[in-house]
Amino acid sequence: MSSTPFFASQAWVGGAWAPNVLLSVDARGNWCGVQPHATEDERRGATQLSGPVLPGVVNAHSHAFQRAIAGLTERRGTHGGAQSDDFWSWRDRMYSVARRITPEQMEAIATFLYAELLTGGYTQVCEFHYLHNAVDGAAHADPLEMSLALVRAAQRVGMGLTLLPTLYMRSGFEATGLRDDQRRFASTPDSVLRLVDAVQRQTADLANINVGVAIHSLRAADAAAVNEMALEANSRGLPVHIHIAEQTQEVQDCLNHTGQRPIEWLMSHVAVNDHWNLVHATHTTLPELQAVQRAGASLVICPSTEANLGDGVFDYSNYAALGGKWSIGSDSHVTRSWSEELRLLEYAQRLTQRKRNVAAQTGPHPSSAAALFEAALAGGQAACAKPLGDIKLGNRADFLVLDAASPALLGVPSSHVLDALVFSSPDARFSDVFVAGKQVLARGQITNHTDGSDTWLHIRQDFVREMKQLWV
């Protein structure tokens, strides 16, 4: 099988920087050669990459439509007098978009978002997708309409996509159904699994698309439905994602209704295994974290959204000490850069513990950036159930080329490039991004010209047009 060779003067291989690396990609877009210390003769004919090379990162939690409200919820509420602003008041504002966004608007916004995520160093995104129905809450004539809008967006820019059709049945623990402003979310285990089957058929010939399932939250589905989804997902080998223990009110409501905390209930009533990805898990006890680790499940941490919504600070130190798996997500997309997410994760720990280099206190890495990056790569594989992340034989060849001229990297010794990328802001830029060995970003510009257009220009124009329709 033919292969395409690349040469990097330094590349992140096996959890450390390696010098003079000859990288080879096979016709399927997978790594077929990773050779550090390549001689001049060995690398002759290889494409010279212009800067340090890192593996691409999985964005393990995304609500693409929420990109439309980034920057638009940062003023105190105008209702209720002096009431404080919190997650629940933010949710009401978010619903104002969720109620109105059309498939065309979804596609334009997601396309722009996925292009931004590529420039921020993500090469696969897990789309937690619950906008299934039409604006009036009725079923679309084509049940796949909203799902395929997301698929088209990812394909246009070359982003890998794990689509997670989401179960959403009720508005709260005591409710029997959904509120009027949640009618677009309505689904059942059967309807979600039909979506999974249909998306798999429709995307069978498309590159870098796969599916899983999601359960919105314990408050949004009863025990029977949660277990039905778990059994089906397990039998099909699908990743499962669920929002859990994000807010203190959610924890208290679960306690009031079930007598147990959310993660406590999940781990004692559902066969959680290594297919599961628990999103947020902001409010946990040590026994809960131990149970997650024993089950082989992963957590998905979304630092920028958890900070923006005032959720709280994840108990990173205890979970890392257990060897727990986790990935990173940008959720509501108030930022679209994994280095910023990792920086905020570490800084939140430093602020609450009044210590430095918290991530480096557990595990083999003296570098906080390396400890965070390696954990995010490993957890990303669990989130999308694909062999991604590490630059190693057989994995999909997703990689990032740093712009060595970025101010954050100038004058930095080669051994500290990752540290500077994560902790010296503003972020260093990625000049080039490759997904499955195919270049999708060149000199900071999207290059996946599926329609022969000036992709970046048209993507921006489409986004601005649809934002005006939503907000002007």
Q: For position 7, which CATH number holds?
A: 2.30.40.10
In a domain, 179, yes or no: yes
From 334, 353, 384, the end of a domain falls on: 384
Q: Please report the pLDDT score of residue 86 as a whole number.
A: 84
240 and 302 belong to one structural domain: yes
DSSP assignment of 241-256 equals: EEEES-SHHHHHHHHH
Q: How far apart are CA 81 and CA 273, in angstroms?
A: 46
Please check whether residue 468 lies inside any domain of the structure. Answer: no
Which residue positions in the chain have pLDDT lower than 70?
A: 1, 77-83, 449-453
Residue 234 located in a structural domain: yes
Distance CA(210)–CA(62), nearest Å, equals 15
Residues 168 and 255 in one domain: yes
Active site residue 331: yes
Over residues 418-430, the pLDDT tens digits come to: 999 999 998 899 9
Radius of gyration of the chain (CA): 22
Q: How far apart are the C-alpha atoms of 455 and 459, rounded to whole Å? A: 6
Domain match, 150 and 111 both: yes
β-pair partners for 62: 127, 331
Asked if residue 461 belongs to a domain, the reply is: no
CB 227 within 8 A of CB 270: yes
**Distance, CA of 448 to chain centre:** 21
Q: In the chain, pLDDT over 90 holds for what percent of residues? A: 89
Matching residue, tokens 């209704």: 257
What does the alpha-carbon distance between residue 447 and residue 159 come to, in Å, rounded to a whole number? 12
How far is it, in rounded angstroms, from Cα 51 to Cα 53? 6
CATH code where residue 269 lies: 3.20.20.140
Q: Hey, what are 410's tokens?
A: 């100038």
Q: How many domains does the chain have?
A: 2
Please identify, among 337, 365, 384, the residue that sits at the C-terminal boundary of a domain. Answer: 384
Distance in angstroms (rounded) separating the CA atoms of residues 357 and 354: 10
Examine the domain organization and report whether 84 and 217 are in the same domain.
yes
What's the pLDDT score for residue 329? 98
Q: Could you give phi then psi for residue 398, rounded to 5 degrees?
A: -100, 125
Based on the fold, state whether residues 282 and 359 are members of the same structural domain: yes
Identify whether 466 is part of a domain. Answer: no
Question: CA-CA distance, 385 to 367, in Å (whole number)?
Answer: 27
Q: H or E segment at 287?
A: helix 286-295
232/213 Cα distance (integer angstroms): 10
Q: Which long-range contacts (CB under 8 A, 24 or more apart) does 14-17 make?
A: 14/390, 14/392, 15/364, 15/365, 15/370, 15/374, 16/370, 17/52, 17/414, 17/415, 17/417, 17/418
Same domain, 306 and 413: no
Q: What's the rounded Cα separation, in Å, for the pair 97 and 149?
A: 16
Catalytic residue selected from 63, 132, 216, 280: 280
329 is written with which tokens?
A: 């997500």
427 annotated active-site:
no
Residue 449's pLDDT is: 61
**Pair of tokens at residue 456:** 């970046």
Asked if 200 and 317 sit in the same domain, the reply is yes
User: Where is the domain boundary, 340, 358, 384?
Assistant: 384
Is 288 in a helix, a strand, or coil?
Answer: helix
113 and 98 belong to one structural domain:
yes
Tell whether 150 and 207 lie within a shared domain.
yes
Residue 419: per-residue pLDDT: 98
Q: State the CB neighbour count (10 A cutoff) for residue 435.
A: 27
Say whether both 48 and 61 belong to one domain. Answer: no
Q: Nearest 10 degrees: CA dihedral of 139, 145, 150, 153?
A: -150
CB atoms within 10 A of CB 205: 7
What 3 state SS string does 340-404 have?
Answer: HHHHHHHHHHHHHHCCCCCHHHCCCCCCHHHHHHHHHHHHHHHHHCCCCCCCCCCCECCEEEECC
Active-site residue identified among 63, 241, 275, 331: 331
Q: Is residue 66 part of a domain?
A: yes
Q: DSSP state, 438?
A: E
C-alpha 352: how far from its chain's center? 25
pTM of the full structure: 0.97
pLDDT score for 450:
59
Residue 472 lies inside a defined structural domain of this protein? no
Residue 453 falls inside a structural domain: no
Within this chain, do residues 364 and 425 fall inside the same structural domain, yes or no? Answer: no
Verify that 17 and 70 share a domain, yes or no.
Answer: no
- Give the range of the structural domain holding residue 45, as residue numbers without chain letter: 3-54+392-446
